[in-house]
Amino acid sequence: MIQVQHLTKTYEDLRRGRFRAVDHVSFTVRPGEIFGLLGPNGAGKTTVLRILSTVLRPTSGIATIDGYDVAHEPAEVRRRIGFVSNNTAIYDRMTAWEMVEYFGRLHGMASDALTERLEKLFDQLRMNEFRDVPGGKMSTGMRQKVSIARALVHDPPVLIFDEATLGLDVLVARNLLGVIRELRDAGKCLIFSTHIMSEVERLCDRIAIMHQGRILDSGTLDELTQRHQETDFEELFFSLLSSHEDATHTIDAQGMEVAQ
Ligand SMILES: Nc1ncnc2c1ncn2[C@@H]1O[C@H](COP(=O)(O)OP(=O)(O)OP(=O)(O)O)[C@@H](O)[C@H]1O
């Protein structure tokens, strides 16, 4: 459903010059699967997810969603994805219902089908008690649910979550992870980025560990722990990151160009 091959994104930066924020990244995500992108700040996770959601164009490489190329068929891709981040804008004067309805209309949904879909979503996400609350008066948890409903309104097969639990309290974050699991069990294809190790351990079917634009390793939790002979996932994560840094520094010391 999501196929990414040698995806690369180069930025021009005053301080760093030209550098690769995403460097030959490849992975596949299937329906009914949660794929976790785990990495520290600046690893390149958001850049990958923005390319998948057609907001950014890749410098090279290919990414397809349901067979449609994100760079060349963005409208087809947008029909098939929902995007949830931690800072989705919520209109202060629109109620929860109006906001989700508005996004359904933007996706071209007909009135009857849209009302039916809204009823189902508001039940599923337990949003009925704040149906008529305007955005300006919503709690963080309510706002996050509206963002999710907004991403789900057109019933896309692919969902992209970019650091979606950032800034949420434990209870709201836990609810969100529960919703993500339900979506997986309903056959959706989900990609989830975070820097929180326990989230990927608990939630993701497969994990890619990303650092400095590259995927250092990927697989199920069992595959990763067996391959690296380390049962403590946190230890595994830090040792992968530091051996990558040691390797790039060694190359640096030999005078070769590294992060181009
Ligand atoms: N528009 C831009 N111009 C230049 N550099 C950028 C731009 N956007 C991101 N970067 C840089 O690209 C690298 C990857 O950033 P990205 O936001 O994709 O990482 P991330 O893994 O999502 O990290 P974070 O959790 O901090 O958002 C970082 O070094 C960042 O500073």
201 in a structural domain: yes
Q: Is residue 14 part of a domain?
A: yes
- Indicate whether 65 belongs to any domain: yes
Per the domain annotation, does 99 fall within a domain? no
Q: Under a CB-based contact definition with an 8 Å cutoff, are residues 52 and 81 in contact?
A: yes
Q: What is the CA radius of gyration of the chain?
A: 19
In a domain, 173, yes or no: no
Question: Which amino acid residue places its CA nearest to atom 5 of ligand 1?
Answer: 11
Please give the distance, rounded to the nearest whole angstrom, from the Cα atom of residue 187 to the centre of ligand 1: 31
CB 21 near ligand 1, within 6 Å:
yes
SS3 260: coil
Give the pLDDT score at 249.
Answer: 61
Whether the CB of 47 sits within 6 Å of ligand 1:
yes
44 lines ligand 1 (CB under 6 A): yes
- Taking the CA of residue 37 as reference, the ligand 1 atom at the shortest distance is 21
* Domain total in the chain: 1
Number of C-alpha atoms within 13 angstroms, CB side, residue 16?
11
Is 130 part of a structural domain of the chain? Answer: no
| Domain that includes residue 240, residue range | 1-80+196-254
The complex's ipTM?
A: 0.94
Residue closest via CA to ligand 1's atom 1 equals: 11
* Structural domain contains residue 180: no
Q: pLDDT tens track of the chain, all 260 residues?
A: 999 999 999 998 888 888 899 999 999 999 999 999 999 999 999 999 999 999 999 999 999 999 999 999 999 999 999 999 887 788 999 999 999 999 999 999 998 999 999 999 999 888 999 999 999 999 888 998 899 999 999 999 999 999 888 877 888 888 888 889 999 999 999 999 998 888 899 899 999 999 999 999 999 999 999 999 888 999 999 989 988 887 776 544 444 434 43
Strand order in the sheet with 206-211: 81-85, 158-162, 189-194, 33-38, 206-211, 214-219
Whether residue 116 lies inside any domain: the answer is no
Ligand 1, atom nearest to 163 Cα: 25
